[in-house]
A and B are shown apart, each in its own frame.
Chain A
Amino acid sequence: MHIRVLGLNHKTAPIEIREKVSFSSDKLDRALRALKASGAVKENLILSTCNRTELYAVIDDSAAARDPLGDFLADFHGLDHAQLAQYLYEKNDKDAISHLFKVVSSLDSMIVGETQIFGQVKDAYFKARTLNTLGKTLDSIFEEAIRVGKKVRTETQIGKGAVSTSTAAIELARRIFETLEGKTVLIIGAGKIGEMTVKNLHSRGVATVLVANRTLQKAQELARVFGGKAVSFDDLAACMPQADIIISSTSAPHFVITRAQAAAALERRRNEPLFFIDLGVPRNIDPQANSIDNVYVYNIDDLASVRDANIRDRMAAAADARAIIERCVEAVCARFAQQSAAREVAL
């Protein structure tokens, strides 16, 4: 009896292949039942996300030499087996368990530490359990996998820290303001990262979005997206004191906001902290403004360094996670060995 995983992911297969072998929700039901009905495997479970498709199964010794999972995957999607094979990986027994534990802990994900995969594994497990395609072995392995996923998340720093520039800006904002709820953000100029940041801030409860642009029409377009207000460039100084967070990404060749202007805005805010996110190159906000009490100025490089530091932390956390996984794999394997020994004695 063997535990086997066969599948492909973002590292082994391009999107063109991944989309061909993915299982949508209704296909998944059919596939689970079909694989069970085929009699090729004793237990099975399918994990299908946008980055991976994996078939987990318990296979008889007699079938282990063949490739029932590869055949099934190719046949189900009407693909050529030989062609598909180059993208697939197959792992058995201890390696298969270890792989699953890494997947559920997001070590195998595109972004290490992301949280979605944990829920996806859980969903796949519940789905297979509802359709009754699991037996004792896979059931206990997946239960253990969910425990490992939780353990890694609570005992390591793997999910901490923003790993993109726009989320790094959000994290910084949350170290300045306790909550983003009810805050006002002003975005000057338009740019992809700037808009992403505003979008993230908006989804985290920022109350008011003000948009300033040289062309008022552009400002109005962006303002509409967030239910915000467009302001003309001439009114900038007047509406600056309202803003808690000011994002600037214009291509102006000189400072859009000088130190004196920042100081004036702060005074009108009665020293309520003011966070400048300067995404412009050349810089839009006088870096000297950072020396004013209660004013914080971060430029694009500063945000990148926050992001990179977080990525380094995640790498360190991933090493801790691997150690936890290794211990859990050993424990599970020891348990299986004990159980199968007991079974043989009973026979």
Chain B
Amino acid sequence: MTGRVAISSEAEPDRFLPRAGLIRGWLDLYLTMFRIAILNNIHYRVANYFYMIGMVAEPVIYLVVWSTIARQHGGQVGGFTAGQFAAYYIVWTLVRQMNIIFTPYGWEERIRQGGLSAMLLQPLFPIHRDIADLAGWKLVTIVLWLPIAAVLTLLFSPELSVRPIDVAVFAIAIWGAYLVRTMLYWMLGMVSFWTTRVGPIFQLVFAAELLLSGRLVPLSLMPEWAQRLADLLPFKWTFGFPIEALVGHLTEGALLRGLAMQLVWIVIGTIGVRIVWHFAIRHYSAVNG
């Protein structure tokens, strides 16, 4: 027993993977986290189903309202026929599922109940756990969604014609949307470090998102000024864009531009998260620990 340690960074023994295997290490980590998320969520599939069925109410209501208006106006409004509205809102249900992120309201509990401290003791930036956890969940819900989509298709007869590039861009865009929204709401949620009166702030952002993302109506039906505003904000790229990528017959330029905008917002979000996190942890470690 020496009583002294030799401090040298090269003294790190064989029990850790070498830095050379960094990519493989990340891949391994994400796959492991996916696996755990899937195992956890298969457990709760009944609850998941109830949740998903509940979600369907919202788009069905919008769908009926706009189809009614379309029929009253000789078959179409704003460039959409009833069948196209149906397509929009059925794809909506999948995009909605893919959009689900760690709720900003969850930070309150994470901070007060000590979950955050446990995360801080591990050598992993906590956002990875949230991303992987919910991504794993989505892999389960995508499967659960198929029968729901089938039923909705039978009931509302959507008109849909897709090209392979639409499908390809859509497949990427739904995950891009997920990442954009993750960054955004991580930043928002961290407000909880400084105050418990988060309700009004969150509600405002949610309301803005509802109106300016394409969740309520296809954005082309909104007034001009609203559409221009929506172009500047991240919300459109998390909801309206993925849906339109599949159903909207966008030009190839528009499709690629949309993906590029998602990338831009992911980068902005990543930087933003890093900055807010730095201040949040400084505040947390000064006071709570």
A is bound by B: no
Interface residues of B (CB under 8 A from A): none
